[in-house]
Amino acid sequence: MPSATPRSTRSIAVVAATAIVLATLALGFVAAPPAGAAQPAPGHTGLVPSTPRTNTPRISTGEIWDIEVVGQRVFIAGTFSSLQNTTGNTAVVNQRFLASYNYQTGLIDTAFRPTFGGGGVNAVEASPDGTRLYVAGSFNTVNGVTKRKIASISLTTGALAATNSTLYVGGNFQTVNGTARVVLVALNGATGAVVPGFVNNMSGGIGVNGALTVQQLKLTHDDTKLLVVHTGRKIANQDRYGVGLISTQTNQLLPWRTRLWDDNLQLVGGIQRVYAGDIAPNDQYFVVGSGSGGDRPPINDTAVAFPVAGNDNVQPLWVSRHFDSVDSVAITERAVYVGGHFGLPGVAHRPRPLARPGRRRLRHRLGPRRRGGPPRPHRRPQPGRWQGAGVEPRLELLRGQQGHGGHRPRPVRRRRRHVPGRQEHRPGRLLRLQLQPGALAHRHHRGQPDRGPGWSPQACSS
């Protein structure tokens, strides 16, 4: 059986799931469902509860890299070696790299026991119909069978299985099954063979330590576009700093392009720290997060929204500043959720005008002018607008231009004040960002395509 063999020096990402980065090899992937199938949406009618469940399993060692939910079952992938229930039988369950539990009862699924040799699991994603589970990582065997870096397994037992479709894979490889494919490739879901018409090689690594890799791959819910979040300069030999969109119908890079990173990377030492991303369920916009780079908005320690439509020089819809890393993003019908290492609530910014040649930059926020005088300097936010007891921070649409000759979103300079009863957001906690009524509609991209029997890219050499 043909095998998918990305030769990697560091990490891989796959579409239909998330792209992950490891010290050895990390995989993020996205699987395209059959024609006519739609990517499922979360169907949220309200915000998720602010109080987390207390009955979830406990992991005392290792980390979780990725999470997938199918019905009431939760699949977690990471570097852990064991876990235990917090209710009922609390005996330690020895299960490495990939485990499952029921989110209603919180109990571990002890029948789901796949084993991995030669490395761990970094990414996990289910097919859109919820019948197949795709995993990727640095492993070389699954249940004792040679399946290198990518595999499809049963949701019930963890046994190997697959259905037909296309699998998009990104990472830090140079060849796949002997075919030159740099960082990004499309595979036949049934055979693992390289799709010949999909040639979108990447170049110009500008990540930390010069890394060239894919951080996140997402399909729009109508399955027509592939979002690539990456640390390179070019896709298909065309400038696409930070993000790019590829047509899944023609396999060609779309003209969509933003200049946000082109214009601002020089301010952070030229290092690309874009990390996470997700697409709204209505496919009208997407949001990307960025890692820490000295709190330098708009491209570091921020969440940035872009419209999916557009050609060259696409402007951000809004920029939310978090003062530390934003490592994950999820979008539902009611909100944009971000997680990371930040300890302060997000602040959505409106752009302020740049100084004209020969004039000093005005340090003010756009707003009412004093009668007969200049704009009010250092205008403080109105209570309840950006802050206030019981008021969640809201993300608003930014007006103005971002890029060449336009306006840049800048931080609002204001004195911080304590608000009694306001929820504290500590490092590692999830922050809920509620969208203002009248903003874009939103739902969450989830799920992947169905695959056919015999899918097994099994020889990915590292």
Distance CA 286, CA 330 (A): 10
The pLDDT score that the predictor gives to residue 172 is 81
Contact 217/211 with Cβ under 8 angstroms?
no
To which residue do tokens 């917090």 refer?
A: 86
Enter the tokens of residue 310.
């557009």
Q: pLDDT of 210-263, one tens digit each?
A: 999 999 999 998 889 999 999 999 999 999 999 999 999 999 999 999 999 999
> Does residue 421 have a pLDDT over 50?
yes
Compute the average pLDDT of residues 391-395.
Answer: 34
> Does residue 14 have a pLDDT over 70?
no
Distance CA 124, CA 284 (A): 26
Residue 378, Cβ neighbours under 10 Å: how many?
A: 11
Instruction: Compute the half-sphere exposure of residue 321: CA atoms within 13 Å on the CB side of its CA.
Output: 18
Q: Could you give the 3-state DSSP secondary structure of residue 428?
A: coil
CB within 8 Å of 238: residues ≥ 6 apart: 253
The pLDDT score that the predictor gives to residue 46 is 86
Higher local confidence (pLDDT), 400 or 58: 58
> Does residue 275 have a pLDDT over 70?
yes
Enter the tokens of residue 48.
């998720």
Q: pLDDT of 434-458, one tens digit each?
A: 444 333 333 333 343 433 334 444 4
- Closest C-alpha among 448, 442, 384 to residue 15: 448
CA dihedral 59, 63, 66, 67 (to 10 degrees): 10
The pLDDT score that the predictor gives to residue 457 is 43
Contact 321/309 with Cβ under 8 angstroms?
no
Strands (E), 181-334: 184-188, 202-203, 214-219, 225-230, 234-235, 238-239, 243-247, 274-279, 285-290, 302-307, 318-321, 326-331
CB within 8 Å of 380: residues ≥ 6 apart: 414, 415
Residue 42, Cβ neighbours under 10 Å: how many?
A: 17
The pLDDT score that the predictor gives to residue 40 is 72
Give the CA distances from residue 47 to residues 42, 103, 192, in Å, rounded to whole numbers and listed in that order: 12, 18, 39
Q: Quick one: what percent of the chain has pLDDT higher than 70? A: 65
Q: Outline where 230-274 has alpha helix (H).
A: 260-264
End-to-end C-alpha distance for the chain, whole angstroms? 19
The pLDDT score that the predictor gives to residue 163 is 53
Structural domain boundaries of the chain? 6-349
Enter the tokens of residue 348.
């959505």
DSSP 263: H
Compute the average pLDDT of residues 99-105.
Answer: 94
Distance CA 167, CA 53 (A): 34
CATH classification of 6-349, choosing from 2.40.50, 3.30.870, 2.130.10, 2.60.40? 2.130.10
Residue 177, Cβ neighbours under 10 Å: how many?
A: 19
Q: Could you give the 3-state DSSP secondary structure of residue 394?
A: strand
Enter the tokens of residue 6.
């990305």
What is the tally of helices (H) and strands (E) in the chain? 1, 33
Contact 310/360 with Cβ under 8 angstroms?
no
